[in-house]
Amino acid sequence: MAGNGMAPRRGGLRDRLAPLGERLELGSIVLLLLLVTGVWGFIELAGEVVEGETERLDRALLLAFRARDDPAEPLGPLWLQEMGRDLTALGGVAVLSLVTIGVLAFLAMRRLWAAAGLLLVAVLGGLAVSTLLKEHFERPRPDLVPHGSIVTDASFPSGHSMMATVVYLTLGALLARVEPGLRVKVFVLGFAVLLALLVGVSRVYLGVHWPTDVLAGWVLGAAWALLFWLIARWLQHRGRLEVDRGE
């Protein structure tokens, strides 16, 4: 076969980047499906709560965290009750604000301005959504047992559970996006999930939320974090979200 003497080029830049693009697209599709599933799950759960379909399950699960001979007392010794209050504080305004400010300062010091801005929008937006939903549903707090923590607003969805999920998962997602190491990514995301779960369980343990309040907070908070994870992927794919390579 005649030719001009030049062998066809193989392994060009486009060929090398094609698999990466396919992985990014597949990952985005998976995240989008999870996001849609989370929103749909929250809507379905909210409908069941409004119709009173979850009342029996809520009461049974809430009482499962209480002593059988005295429902006014949470299960376990006094140190476990104190630990429950410590854990629930991880989803409170003061702790979440300090964590967010600290991470914002870190990102600013590393000059990761896009990541810092995305984090700020995610947290403030999540807080607004949580507040609006509480005002919309106006579900009363549990009245079966004494409250182990001071509460002043409505019950559904759990603000502590939702905001802990929003803040810790969004932080985990953003830090995972700017961190090149796989092991660090897995650790950050896994620890973020653990913190959100512990905060939610503590709310039921202290008797200040129905279990479905907490479940709704987890689901909606995760969906919110997934939304901003998708945005972070989109920005990074277009070179608008910085990757921290160190000094």
Catalytically active residues are: 160, 209
Question: In sequence order, which residues have a C-beta less than 8 Å from that of residue 24 and are 6 or more positions away?
Answer: 233, 237
Residue 202, both tokens: 């503590």
Distances (CA, A) of 18 to 12, 15, 128: 10, 5, 40
Question: Could you tell me if 115 and 232 are in contact, meaning their C-beta atoms sit under 8 angstroms apart?
Answer: yes
| CB proximity list for 81: less than 8 A, separation 6 or greater | 74, 148
Terminal-to-terminal C-alpha distance of the chain? 53
